Amino acid sequence: MPQKGVSKKKDRTCLICFGQTRVAFLGIDLCRACSVFFRRNEQRNEFTCRAGTKNCAVGPDLNCKRCRFDHIERLLNVSGSSDQPASSSSNQNSSEASDSPMVDIRSPSTSSNPSSRAETPILGRLKIYYRSMCWMRLNSELQCLPNPPHPSEISLESGPFSPASFASMTTSNRILLTALLDFGCSVFPEYAQLERKEKWDIVVNNFYRFRLFEGIYRASQVYPDDMDVTFAGYSNWASVKCLDEFCSDAPTGDREGLKEYFDRNNGRMQELPATRALIQRVNPCHEEFLVLIAIMFWSFGEKSFRDDITQVGHQYHDALLKELHTFYREEKRLDDYAARLGEVMMLLPVFDRSHDMKEHFEMLRLLELLPEDNFTYQLQKAD
């Protein structure tokens, strides 16, 4: 029997400010302060992002009202906990889907037999083709080495992995983009029907987010104790501590200037350990990771695409969330997973930082460490 006067409620961590609370407000893991802030400003939100990015990170240092409000609103929309009526736009999109030239995203089994056990066809394709893509990338990168390892020594889990360099980064980026094109065609039938330029534009738009998210996610699994490490390709990793090795095969340039640049931006460089810590705290399972990279694939941000392509993106977003609901219920056996779903979805805006990566590449070019005809540099210039 619990002692008299001792609360049986478990401590919860607020998904916005990471503060401790014993009550979940608005139906999700929010502290009272964050829930009161949202309710007070729900009808008159006119805040401006302090950083100008609309992408300030959650946590105890979040002091941007604009992003605080947006993060809470996103959580409520994802979890379905908001008491506001749903928008009619989603119903309109559903009714218009039959007029779209795109392929129906439902599998024959789920659409023809509604009484059968709920299935996850997209997640199933993601598992198969992501693993295939990883094998292709790993083997391709390793075969580019002067002395590639014996085939029996190659493993998705253990590599071998080695420090990244300028040359290996460019090679890895080329291989990744090629793999993403094939991955998109294999997993998403609608993507395979698009024109060549449209396929390329979607992949390039997704490239930086995917590269950053996957690199940090894999590093948290392979090197859980080294918070400064991220994967720059599938077989090579990078760290601020290894700048000399990274520049070892770069064209002659201002390497001291590069070190000064990293020193001046030390605060921003600390974003990597902080993001690593966030990933390890949320600890997404493989299925959650796959759903996130698929949603990223169809998230276009400010990039403009045809209306029917955008509509397919919305359909996949909804379908992926439904499959994640099914996964939580039938695989994880969770009855109340709203907080978990919100926590996982909060990772998406954290990796929408392609502007920062492009700035780093531009600085490398100015320091004459990255030639203007370099593939990666040309990629970010064209995007």
**pLDDT at res. 130:** 95
Are both 314 and 204 inside the same structural domain?
Answer: yes
Model pLDDT for residues 68-97, shown as the tens digit of each residue: 888 888 777 655 554 443 333 333 333 333
pLDDT of residue 124: 92
Inter-residue contact 125 to 338 (CB < 8 Å) = no
Number of domains present in the structure of the chain: 2
Residue range 314-338: mean pLDDT, rounded = 90
Distance separating alpha carbons of residues 326 and 110, to the nearest angstrom: 12
Do 186 and 252 lie in a common domain? yes
CATH of the domain at 25: 3.30.50.10
Among 46, 65, 82, the domain-final residue is 82
- Answer for the pair 330, 59: CB distance below 8 angstroms, yes or no: no
In contact, 305 and 206? CB cutoff 8 Å? no
Whichever domain contains 247, its CATH number is 1.10.565.10
Select, from the ranges 74-78, 141-145, 205-209, 240-244, the one with the highest average predicted confidence (pLDDT): 141-145
Answer yes or no: is 323 within a domain.
yes
307, part of any domain: yes
pLDDT at residue 312, rounded to an integer:
94
Average pLDDT over residues 2-7: 42
Instruction: Let me know if residue 100 belongs to a domain.
Output: no
Q: Residue 217 pLDDT > 80, yes or no? A: yes
Burial grade of 144 (CB within 10 A; 0-12, 13-18, 19 or more):
middle
Which pLDDT tens digit goes with each residue over 251-287? Answer: 666 566 666 666 555 444 456 778 888 899 999 999 9
User: Residue 212 half-sphere exposure, CB side, CA atoms within 13 Å?
Assistant: 22
pLDDT attached to residue 29: 76
Q: What is the average pLDDT across 318-323?
A: 93
Run of H or E residues at 21: strand 20-21
Distances (CA, A) of 74 to 172, 217, 264, 297, 316: 34, 22, 34, 19, 17
Q: Which domain holds residue 51?
A: 12-82
Which has more pLDDT, 206 or 273?
Answer: 206
Task: Let me know: does 38 contact 69? Beta carbons within 8 Å.
Answer: yes
Q: What is the pLDDT of residue 96?
A: 39
Would you call 41 exposed, middle or buried from its count of C-beta atoms within 10 A (0-12, 13-18, 19+)? middle
**What pTM value is reported for the model?**
0.66
* Residue range 24-34: mean pLDDT, rounded: 80
d(CA 128, CA 180): 14
More confident site: 360 or 58: 58
Task: Report the sign of the C-alpha dihedral through residues 197, 200, 204, 206, in that order.
Answer: positive
Mean of all residue pLDDT scores within the chain = 78
In a domain, 6, yes or no: no
Is pLDDT of 291 > 80? yes
Q: In this structure, are 116 and 205 located in the same domain?
A: yes
Residues 166, 247 contacting (CB under 8 angstroms): yes
Q: Are residues 165 and 232 in the same domain?
A: yes
Q: Are 180 and 268 within one domain?
A: yes
Last residue of a domain, one of 28, 47, 82: 82
Do the domain assignments include residue 2? no
Clarify whether residues 186 and 54 are in a common domain: no
In a shared domain, residues 230 and 329 = yes
Q: What pLDDT is stored for residue 336 in this prediction?
A: 84
Spatial CA neighbour of 322 closest among 123, 166, 186: 123
Same domain, residue pair 33 and 134: no
